[in-house]
């Protein structure tokens, strides 16, 4: 005898009384199957197996038998047979190879049910679950159903009423930081609008002097027995009480301040310590600083999502900072000591004589602080040599004089060659 029905959403019961009882349900994409052998009344064995069922679910392989055969639900027996033969011919492992073995199996399974008038009628009434275990479908009664439920699910009534406590929600806020704040870390005050405990009722949800009363519907147990009529008989299952939502008590005199919610929305400021080296889009978590829980439930967490603002001068590259320094041509040729403004105050940069555009001067330890580690990256200053654009007569004369002295009045064009990389040098050696 088959019984099938839903126990709490995803759990499906399927039993074959003559040989054994199957209960299978899917929890977090893992399919659990309990087998409850009933060889003789007193000799019972139980074995449990589970398998990951996510692939089948994700790919949607668990299809309707009619879909598998590509026929409509009102197709005639002849149409079903025709569709099956056509599919079986193309999907047969001898023709399509082992790749299509699964599909071939599914087509056979579908035809096994839809090709048989009686099985098809049962399938139409109850869906596929009635045919998944195989075995003989007829046998004894239902007296063991409640017994099985209590064996596997602890029995609804003995579980007792549910707690009213609920965890508060997590709160996500956006946190704008300047690059300067990221370099050394900082402390920020964040204004929040979160749920906090109601002062009037101290989170109890009831008016002062009153307390929740026992639910008259379930008499405080929080659950009710529901009898479902399936095509083969009655199935008794335990469901949460609809009047008290399974809690067992009802608040008849709710707190006015919070409308019986136990919490109210309020503005609150939180100090957040931002560590050096945080990156754009990272989230900083403050445990327990989100919405407050309901009736003793834990508080939610606060997540601050970091958004680093663009700096007009400095750019971040890993834990290093980069910037560009423009120097006059004469300083590049003669050398100079220049002061620049960094996140660490004024720093002196030593420009050696003959510095060219593109040269990089590294200031060690002036970069971004390493996240969760000691030390900082470097500041890399890339030099840009500025060529004078407007020359007066005297300046022009001097530069012409310089060109003459360096023998550069008629400069010879010299196309730059690529510099050989280490790899190219090695390759050149080996190919010789
Ligand atoms: Zn209140
Ligand atoms: Zn109730």
Query: Percent of the chain having pLDDT more than 90?
Result: 42
Residues with CB under 5 A from ligand 2 (ion): 215, 217-218, 241, 243-244
The answer as to CATH 1.10.357.10 being correct for domain 4-155 is no
Is residue 119 very low, low, confident or very high in pLDDT (cuts 50, 70, 90)? confident
Dist. CA 234 → ligand 2 center (Å): 23
Q: Give pLDDT, residue 106.
A: 85
pLDDT in tens, 173-184: 999 999 999 999
Dist. CA 165 → ligand 1 center (Å): 15
Its CATH class, for the domain covering 171-212+251-308, is mainly beta
**Which contiguous run of DSSP H or E holds residue 112?**
helix 101-114
Could you tell me if 135 and 16 are in contact, meaning their C-beta atoms sit under 8 angstroms apart?
yes
Nearest ligand to the C-alpha atom of residue 218 = 2
Could you tell me if 250 and 244 are in contact, meaning their C-beta atoms sit under 8 angstroms apart?
yes
Mutual angle of helices 101-114 and 77-91, in 10-degree steps: 160
Dist. CA 390 → ligand 1 center (Å): 77
Q: How far apart are CA 139 and CA 96, in angstroms?
A: 40
Dist. CA 250 → ligand 2 center (Å): 8
Dist. CA 217 → ligand 2 center (Å): 5
Give Cβ neighbours of residue 108 (< 8 Å, ≥ 6 apart).
88
Nearest ligand to the C-alpha atom of residue 224 = 2
Dist. CA 192 → ligand 1 center (Å): 21
Query: Residue 48 pairs with which residues in a beta bridge?
Result: 34
Could you tell me if 380 and 360 are in contact, meaning their C-beta atoms sit under 8 angstroms apart?
yes
Query: Percent of the chain having pLDDT more than 70?
Result: 76
Dist. CA 214 → ligand 2 center (Å): 8
Is pLDDT larger for residue 380 or for residue 16? 380
pLDDT in tens, 191-215: 999 999 999 998 888 998 888 899 9
Dist. CA 250 → ligand 1 center (Å): 15
Q: Give pLDDT, residue 104.
A: 85
If you average pLDDT over residues 305-329, what whole number do you get? Answer: 95
Dist. CA 70 → ligand 1 center (Å): 59
Dist. CA 125 → ligand 2 center (Å): 33
pTM more than 0.85 = no
If you average pLDDT over residues 335-353, what whole number do you get? Answer: 94
Nearest ligand to the C-alpha atom of residue 213 = 2
Is residue 150 very low, low, confident or very high in pLDDT (cuts 50, 70, 90)? very low
Dist. CA 253 → ligand 2 center (Å): 16
If you average pLDDT over residues 16-38, what whole number do you get? Answer: 50
If you average pLDDT over residues 307-321, what whole number do you get? Answer: 95
Q: Give pLDDT, residue 325.
A: 96
Is pLDDT larger for residue 122 or for residue 170? 170
If you average pLDDT over residues 376-395, what whole number do you get? Answer: 94
Backbone angles phi, psi at 41, to 5 degrees: -55, -40
pLDDT in tens, 3-24: 333 333 333 333 333 344 455 5
Q: Give pLDDT, residue 56.
A: 40
Nearest ligand to the C-alpha atom of residue 216 = 2
pLDDT at 403 over 60: yes
Dist. CA 55 → ligand 1 center (Å): 47
Is pLDDT larger for residue 129 or for residue 405? 405
Query: Do the domains 171-212+251-308 and 315-405 sit in the same CATH topology, yes or no?
Result: yes
Dist. CA 241 → ligand 2 center (Å): 5
Dist. CA 25 → ligand 1 center (Å): 40
Dist. CA 151 → ligand 2 center (Å): 24
pLDDT at 411 over 60: yes
If you average pLDDT over residues 302-313, what whole number do you get? Answer: 94
Nearest ligand to the C-alpha atom of residue 240 = 2
Most distant CA atoms of the chain, gap in Å: 117
pLDDT at 107 over 70: yes
Q: Give pLDDT, residue 413.
A: 85
Q: Give pLDDT, residue 7.
A: 36
Nearest ligand to the C-alpha atom of residue 197 = 1
Q: How far apart are CA 393 and CA 421, in angstroms?
A: 45
If you average pLDDT over residues 157-170, what whole number do you get? Answer: 78
Q: Domain ranges in the chain?
A: 4-155, 171-212+251-308, 215-241, 315-405
pLDDT at 143 over 80: no
Give Cβ neighbours of residue 173 (< 8 Å, ≥ 6 apart).
190, 192, 302, 303, 304, 305
Dist. CA 294 → ligand 1 center (Å): 11
Q: Give pLDDT, residue 146.
A: 42
pLDDT at 34 over 60: no
Is residue 95 very low, low, confident or very high in pLDDT (cuts 50, 70, 90)? confident
Tell me the three state secondary structure of residue 23.
Answer: strand
Dist. CA 169 → ligand 1 center (Å): 18
Is residue 187 very low, low, confident or very high in pLDDT (cuts 50, 70, 90)? very high
Dist. CA 223 → ligand 2 center (Å): 7
Question: Residue 363, Cα to own-chain centre: how many angstroms?
Answer: 40
The answer as to CATH 2.60.260.20 being correct for domain 315-405 is yes
């Amino acid at each position: 005898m088959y019984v099938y029905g839903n126990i709490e959403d995803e759990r499906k019961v399927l039993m074959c009384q003559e040989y054994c009882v199957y209960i299978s349900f899917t929890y977090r994409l893992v399919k659990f199957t309990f087998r409850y052998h009933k060889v003789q009344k007193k000799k019972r064995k139980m074995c449990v197996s589970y398998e990951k069922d996510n692939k089948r679910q994700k790919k949607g392989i668990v299809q309707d038998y009619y879909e598998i055969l590509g026929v409509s639900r009102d197709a005639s027996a002849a149409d079903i047979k025709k569709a099956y033969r056509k599919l079986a011919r193309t999907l047969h492992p001898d023709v399509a190879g082992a790749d299509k073995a699964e599909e071939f199996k599914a087509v056979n399974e579908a035809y096994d049910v839809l090709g048989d008038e009686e099985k098809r009628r049962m399938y139409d009434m109850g869906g596929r679950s009635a045919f998944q275990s195989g075995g003989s479908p007829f046998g004894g009664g239902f007296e063991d159903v409640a017994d099985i439920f209590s064996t596997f699910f602890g029995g609804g009534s003995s579980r007792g009423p549910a707690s009213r406590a609920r965890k508060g929600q997590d709160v996500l806020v956006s946190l704008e930081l300047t690059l300067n704040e990221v370099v050394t870390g900082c402390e920020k005050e964040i204004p929040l609008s979160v749920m906090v405990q109601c002062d009037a009722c101290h989170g109890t949800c009831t008016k002062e002097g009153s307390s929740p009363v026992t639910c008259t519907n379930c008499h405080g147990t929080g659950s009710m027995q529901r009898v479902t009529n399936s095509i083969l008989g009655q199935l008794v299952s335990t469901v949460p009480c609809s009047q008290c939502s399974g809690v067992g008590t009802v608040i008849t005199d709710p707190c006015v301040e919070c409308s019986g919610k136990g919490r109210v929305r309020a503005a609150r400021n939180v100090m957040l310590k931002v560590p050096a080296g945080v990156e754009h889009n990272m989230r900083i978590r403050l445990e327990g600083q989100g919405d407050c829980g309901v009736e003793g439930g834990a508080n939610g967490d606060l997540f601050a999502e970091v958004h680093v603002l663009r700096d007009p001068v400095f750019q971040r590259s890993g834990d290093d900072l980069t910037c560009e320094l423009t120097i006059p041509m004469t300083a590049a040729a003669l050398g100079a000591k220049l002061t620049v403004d960094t996140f660490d105050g004024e720093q002196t940069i030593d420009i050696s004589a003959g510095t060219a555009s593109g040269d990089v001067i590294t200031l060690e330890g002036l970069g971004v602080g390493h996240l969760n580690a000691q030390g900082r990256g470097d500041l890399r200053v890339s030099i840009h040599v500025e060529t004078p654009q407007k020359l007066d007569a005297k300046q022009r004369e001097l530069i012409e004089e310089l060109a003459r002295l360096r023998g550069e009045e008629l400069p010879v064009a010299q196309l730059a060659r690529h510099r050989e990389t280490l790899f190219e040098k090695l390759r050149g050696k080996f190919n010789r």
